[in-house]
Amino acid sequence: MHYKITHYCSHEKEYTQKIDLTEETLQRRLKNTLCEDCFINEQKKLYNKILENANTLAELKGENHEILWAEKIRAKAFLEIESSLQQMNNNLASLSIEQKEAFAHNITELEQAIIALRAETNAINWLKTSYMSGHTLITNIIKKNRELIETSNKTDN
Ligand SMILES: [Zn+2]
């Protein structure tokens, strides 16, 4: 079955109904989202912004020999993050609606994690992460941020 949906970005797109979603569900979900093209454009813009920011890093603080090592560790971590972001970016077009929804949510967390990593200027703290991959670093920060949000939600209630 084919039908048309006007997206949030005001572009009209035609869809073929998928077996796992009713037309009503799909209509409701899609009309508040960007169309495929706009979604990909927006994500690319955001990724470029993240990558751009990742390349301008603050000066590290600590003893000279610590800073030398820490700079190497940090550079490696950001290279890994950069390459996995680019990989994800290349796969955007093949994502399902569900994956895109999850992705759009995660990208905020991802951006926050990268901002937090960039803000880390203590050389000692970077030395402590020497055995971690860029992916692990990011995942740990996202986990910690989620815990912080959960804790503050509990306090609010
Ligand atoms: Zn659009």
Q: Do residues 57 and 5 both lie within one domain?
A: no
Residue 48, pLDDT score? 78
Question: What's the length of the chain?
Answer: 157
Q: Do residues 28 and 51 both lie within one domain?
A: no
- 145 closest CA partner among 98, 119, 108, 118: 108
Q: Tell me the CA–centroid distance for residue 11 and ligand 1, in Å.
A: 5
Q: Do residues 39 and 79 both lie within one domain?
A: yes
Average pLDDT, whole number, for the chain? 81
Q: Do residues 11 and 76 both lie within one domain?
A: no
The pTM of this model reads 0.67
Half-sphere exposure of 111 (CA within 13 A, CB side): 16
Q: Do residues 67 and 135 both lie within one domain?
A: yes
Number of domains composing the chain: 2
Which helix or strand (DSSP H or E) is residue 12 part of? strand 12-16
Q: Do residues 90 and 13 both lie within one domain?
A: no
Q: Considering only residues 101 and 85, tell me which one the structure prediction assigns the higher pLDDT.
A: 85
Average pLDDT over residues 70-89: 84
Q: Do residues 19 and 59 both lie within one domain?
A: no
Q: Tell me the CA–centroid distance for residue 79 and ligand 1, in Å.
A: 32
Q: Do residues 46 and 115 both lie within one domain?
A: yes
Has residue 157 got a pLDDT over 70? no
Q: Considering only residues 51 and 127, tell me which one the structure prediction assigns the higher pLDDT.
A: 127
Residue 61: phi and psi, rounded to 5, are -115, 140
Residue 105, pLDDT score? 67
Alpha helices in 20-119 (DSSP H): 23-31, 36-54, 64-91, 97-119
Q: How far apart are CA 143 and CA 107, in angstroms?
A: 14
Q: How far apart are CA 119 and CA 106, in angstroms?
A: 20
The environment of the single-atom ion ligand 1, i.e. residues with CB closer than 5 A, is: 9, 11, 35, 38
Domain range spanning residue 3?
A: 1-33
Q: Using only C-alpha atoms, what is the Rg of the chain? A: 20
Q: Tell me the CA–centroid distance for residue 126 and ligand 1, in Å.
A: 41
